[in-house]
Structure formats: C-alpha cells, structure tokens
A and B are shown apart, each in its own frame.
Chain A
Amino acid sequence: MKRALSLAAALAIALAAAPAAGEIKIGFIATFSGPGAALGQDLYDAFMLGIDHAGGKLGGQTVEVIKEDDQLKPEVGVQIARKLIEKDRVQIVTGVIFSNVMMAIHKPITDAGIFFIGSNAGPTPLTGKGCSPYFFSTSWNNDSLHEPMGKLATDLGYKRVYVLAPNYQAGKDAVSGFKRYFKGQVLDEVYTQVNQPDYAAEIAQAVAAKPDAVYVFYPGGMGINFVRQYQQSGLIGKIPLLSTATIDGTTLPALKEAAIGAITASPYSPDLDNPQNKRFVADFRKKYGRTPSWYAAQSYDAAQLLDSALRKVNGSLANKEAFRAALKAADFKSVTGPFRFNTNQFPIRDFYRVDVVKDASGQAAFAVKGTVFKDHADNYSKECALK
C-alpha cells in the first residue's frame, strides 16, 4: 500500500510540472510515421526554416514548436489535439497532411478558440458551411486543387480522359474538381483501395478504354507505385499522364527518370521565378539536402504568415480579433506567387502547369510551363458565413 501511495505522489508531482511562460507555443500536427511520414517531414522542416528566416522567432516573439505525430489515425489526431490544448496550452496549431485527420481535429481545436493554420489538407466542408474564424489555410480546398488540371486537359484538347483516384473523400473531391473544368468526356472514374500497391489491373483497363489522356490523383507512395507501373507499361509517351499531388517534391526523388514527360498542375514549383522562392529553395536545399515540395512551400508560407501577423500585434495574442485581422491581411510574400485570403480564409492564388523534364544536369526536375489559373478562388466560399 505504501508503494501505491508513493506512486500516487510521484504521479501528482509529474502532473504539476508547469509549462514555461512568456513565449508563444505552437502545436505542429502532421504525419511522421508510416507511409505519409515523408510529407510530414517536409511540412515540419519548411516550417522550421521559416522560423530560421524570421530570425529564430516569429514576429519578434520567441516561439516553442511542439511536434506531434498523428500516425494518420483520426482518433490519435484527436488525442494529440487534446494534449496540445489541455496540457501544452498552445495558442496556435499548424500543419496537418491528411483530410481525415483534419476533419477529426478541426472542431476540438477551433472550438477551444485556438488559431489553426492548416498548411495542407483542405477538406471541402471546412471551406464552406464548416468554416471557422479561427481556421486559416495556406494551401487550397481539396477539389479546387484539381480544377486546374481539368482546365488544362480541356486547353490541351483532350476529349476522352480516364480518371483514377484512391477510394476516400479527397479522391472523390479530386475527381469532382477535375470534372468541374474539364469539358470533354470522362470515360470512367475508378476508385482504388487506399494504399494499394499493384495497379496492373487498373492500367490494363485504362489502356483498353483507349483514352486521349489518363488523369490520376495518388499522393505519396501510391503515386510512386502507379507512375512506375504506368511508365513500365511504356505508356508515358503514348497516353499522356496528367496528375495533381502525385508526382511532387516528395515522390520525384524516388521516381526520377520514370516520371519524365508527365504533366502536372500545381500551386507551386521549385523553379517559380520570385526572389522569396529562390531564397527558400536555396536554403532548404542547403539545410536539408533535398528540393522542397509544395507541402514544404505551404508550410514555409504558414511560418511567414504567422511572422507577419504576430509582428502586427506586437507578439501578443491577447486580442484575438486583432490577431485574426492581422492573419487575414496576409501581409507576406508567398513563395508560391500572388496570395491573399478569401472570405472563408482559404487562399486566392495562382495554379501552374508544371512538367517533369530533364534538367541541364540530366536529372528529372520540375519546370513551370505556364499559369493555368490566375487568382483562383474555390467554389465554396459563398457557403461560408464569414465575412
């Protein structure tokens, strides 16, 4: 019994350890284990680089970033969101790669009056009716991300397109976004099991349908599997491969020449010609030894956004309305080009055609081939009650 009492006392002491005061605490939630880990790492590394570039602080205020792994499980996401709110008492949360985690943690975080800067996932409900004054996104709405490729496919003159995506909400959002701007015929929309390794069956079905082009959305490892298998079937030169969020900074190093010739639509490319991007890419490469992905770019923007907004309120979050207005001003230079917030606090931004080409040194690299949309807003902002 004595032992039990001392255990209880130890527990009480451990629980009472108070957090340090006088700095801003930022919770960073992303996927750091399992197949999505590389995306989370890019998000985190770029955010930390953003803090470095702002002088090791944000808006002149010292910050503590608390990194948490959601393991791509919504229920774990809820658990760590609660921990950040109740134990670490963060004032700001940022990050989040996957929509299912975002859907699970959005409510507890914004309900607690904590500012939430999403830097990747942008599920449609949060863009429309479910928008929150505390939620800002430096990325996009899930289906507006795919509208540029719909337009581009139309512009390129493709009449018959075969579409594939994973069988989850972001996959369906992708297809509906694509179809909104594609004027031709969608031969078939195929939804495959999430994290399926083998696509031989689907590729054979696609070829048999004789499309003008194939459009896919396969983020992460799924994209590597699909693109490799598509290329090995000798199809990249024959049936153009259009994609969004499939061949990107995190998957290209694993694909290299297998992806050359693929056409993508993207809100970012490392060769975008603006001074802030040149600095970002050069320093990211120097610090981490790889080229930043768009995930990295969005997260770097989140750091820049926080820096600009905290500067406006002199590093104090005491007045939430003032901080919200400061965020909304988006007074920073995005590495992705023109950037401002819509009424639903999602960005109005440009989307580009980005091809995978062989660069001067013979390596596979991204190259911007034009702007598909200028100042593109999502389709749902009018459903959001915010002004």
Chain B
Amino acid sequence: MRDARRAFPVVFLGLLALVPVVAHLTGEPYYLTVFSRIMVFGLAALGLNLILGFGGLVSFGHALYLGIGAYAVGILSAHGVTSGFAHLGAALAVGAVAALLIGLVCLRTSGMAFIMITLAFAQMFYFLAVGLRQYGGDDGLSIPARSAFGPLALQDATVLYYVIFALLAATLYVLHRVVHARFGMVLQGCRENERRMIALGFPTLRYKLAAYVASALICVLAGVLLANLTQYASPAYMQWVVSGDLIVMILFGGMGTLLGPVVGAAAIIAIEDVLTAFRLGLPWGIDQVVNAHWMAILGALIIVVVLTLKQGLYGWLVHRAARAG
C-alpha cells in the first residue's frame, strides 16, 4: 500500500513528462493541447483541494481566481504589455488582495453558507467581467500573443507544455511539504474539529485564511496558464459551472489526497475527449448517440464513482496497485 502510494505520483508525472515525446513521435501534436489543458485544470483543482480536501471548506467560487489570472493576461495584453512577469505579478497581486478580502468575509461562515457566499462573490466578479465592455464584455477578449518570459518561447506548444508541467510538479511538491508540515496538520485539524483546535490555542481563522489565499493563488496561476493556452480570456472561465467542474474533478479523483484532483481532471477531460469523438462503428447509430449525449454517460460515471469508490479514482488506483503487488 505504502509503496504504491509512493510510486504512483512518480509514474504519473513520468507519463505526463513523456506526452510531448510520444506526441512528436506519432505526429499528433493535438495531444499536447489536451494534456496541457488537463494539467491546467489539474493545477486549479489542486489549489481548490487545499481548502476543500484538507481544510473541509467547500468553495463554490474558485473559478473567480481562474478568471482573475486569465483577465490579468488579457487586459495587460490588450494594453500592449506582453511581459509574462508583469502578467504573473499583476495576477498574483490582484488575486492575493481579492482572496484576502473575500476570504475574510467568507470565513465568517461555514457549511452551506460558506458554499453560497463564495458562489456569490464569484458571480459578482462574473457579472463585473461581463460589464467590462472595453475588454469584450460577455464575449471575452482574444490574446494576440502568449506571455513573454525572457528567453522562454511559450509560443511553442512543447515549451508551454513543459512550463505548465514544471509548475504543476513544483506545486505538488510544495503542497506535499505543506500538508505534512504543522500548517497542514492544523488545517486538517480544523476540518475534523475546529472547536478543539481553538481550545488548543490555535488561531484557526488565521490558518484558514492563509490556506484560502494560497489555494486562490494556485488557481490564479492556473488562470494565467489557461489564458496562455487558449489565447483567450472570457467571463465563461468564471461561471459557476466551472467552479462546479473543479469540485467534480476533485471528488472524482479523490478528495483529500494530493494527486487525486489531478487524476480527476485528467479523467474528466479524457472522458469528454474520448466520448465526443467516439467512432467505433457500432450498429444502430450508437456512436452518434454517444457523441451527442456524452454528458449523460459522464453523469452516470460520476454517480457510479460516488456510490462505489469511497476515495475517488485515485484511491481506487492506489488500492488496486497495492493489492496487485
């Protein structure tokens, strides 16, 4: 069990690192785009999972931070600022201030109220973006060129892929350290029994706020990458549906595990990609029905995973691997 848990991340990251090689060998650059997207959403889900899985705080508004990241790139690019350092700096600064203020208000509540108040803030920012007429309003704005990070040529899909990969791996490592450090222990303590943590003398609000801001900033980073990947910033990134998708990815992959959210993002996006292009030549037009109604199959899979797998896909994979020896 232990070995499997240790080996899995290495194998998983190793496979991700090999994707560009395989894509080039087979002449299928499209898979770079798919796996870049998987990693970007995996990164965002990873961020959300810090408070959701480890802190027990269900934020239904983290798409907001994805949007802040994307719009920082979009708006600065629209004004001719192409420096990636400026994009990233502005995104993180705005994101930190927003997360700090929003976190302070939201963390006054808990449970269902927390879910809804985080949704409220995300919706307000969504409508704010829709109202930004000079930046495309509801249509969003396209980004003429990817962020310029000195010699790093993000314009090349492979370079962009490895940048995203490196950031994902680094975030995983940092989070691994964090959740096993005192900070992570206190956070998980708050999830289990906050009253006891307070009684033990921990300033729990400060811990939760720090976790909230950190988790938001990871999503901001994912937003910056998403804008670079699609070369587009749109209010659609901030829709409540996206916040919901992130939660689905986390739960599908395995909440409260480090790698689970990334596995979940990979699974959900892969399912979408496979089912919409499903052409096996089955009789009675089954292929077309699957293509058209793939969301129903996704829905059924989600239900099956929730009803049968306690720790999500990741927990199941690790468990199986451990049993197989």
Contact = CB atoms under 8 A, between A and B. Distances in A.
Say if the two chains contact directly (CB < 8 Å). Answer: yes
Interface of A: 1, 3-4, 7-8, 11-12, 15-16, 32-33, 67-69, 73-75, 78-79, 82-83, 85-87, 99-100, 103-104, 107-108, 123, 166-170, 172, 193-194
A3 B138 CA distance: 46
B259 interface: no
A4, A11, A75, A78 interface centre (most CB from chain B within 10 Å): A75
B236 A3 contact: no
Contacts of A168: 130, 137-139
Contacts of B324: 3
A104 B232 contact: yes
Contact of B28 (A78, A86, A193): A86
Contacts, number: 103
B26 A16 contact: yes
Q: Which among B14, B26, B131, B237 has the highest number of chain A CB atoms within 10 Å?
A: B26
Contact of B232 (A8, A74, A172): A74
26 contacts: A4-B11, A7-B15, A8-B15, A12-B26, A15-B23, A15-B26, A16-B28, A67-B291, A74-B139, A74-B140, A75-B226, A75-B230, A75-B234, A78-B231, A79-B37, A86-B28, A86-B33, A87-B30, A100-B234, A100-B236, A103-B140, A167-B130, A168-B130, A168-B137, A170-B139, A172-B137
Interface string B134-154: 001111101000000000000
Contacts of A75: 226, 230, 232, 234, 236-237
A100 B138 contact: yes
B18 A169 contact: no
A166 to B, nearest CB: 8
B276 interface: yes
B31 interface: yes
Given A8-B18, A16-B26, A172-B133, 14 more contacts: A11-B22, A15-B26, A15-B31, A32-B292, A33-B295, A73-B234, A85-B30, A86-B28, A86-B29, A87-B30, A100-B139, A166-B138, A194-B130, A194-B138
Nearest to B32: A86
Interface of B: 7, 11, 14-15, 18, 22-23, 25-26, 28-31, 33-34, 37, 127, 130-131, 133, 136-140, 142, 226, 230-232, 234, 236-237, 273, 276-277, 291-292, 295, 321, 324
B321 A100 contact: no
Contacts of A166: 138
A104 to B, nearest CB: 5
Nearest to A12: B22
B138 A82 contact: no
Nearest to B139: A100
A89 to B, nearest CB: 10
The 3 closest A-B pairs by CB, nearest first: A168-B138, A87-B30, A86-B30
Contacts of B136: 103, 169
Nearest to A108: B231
A4 B320 CA distance: 13
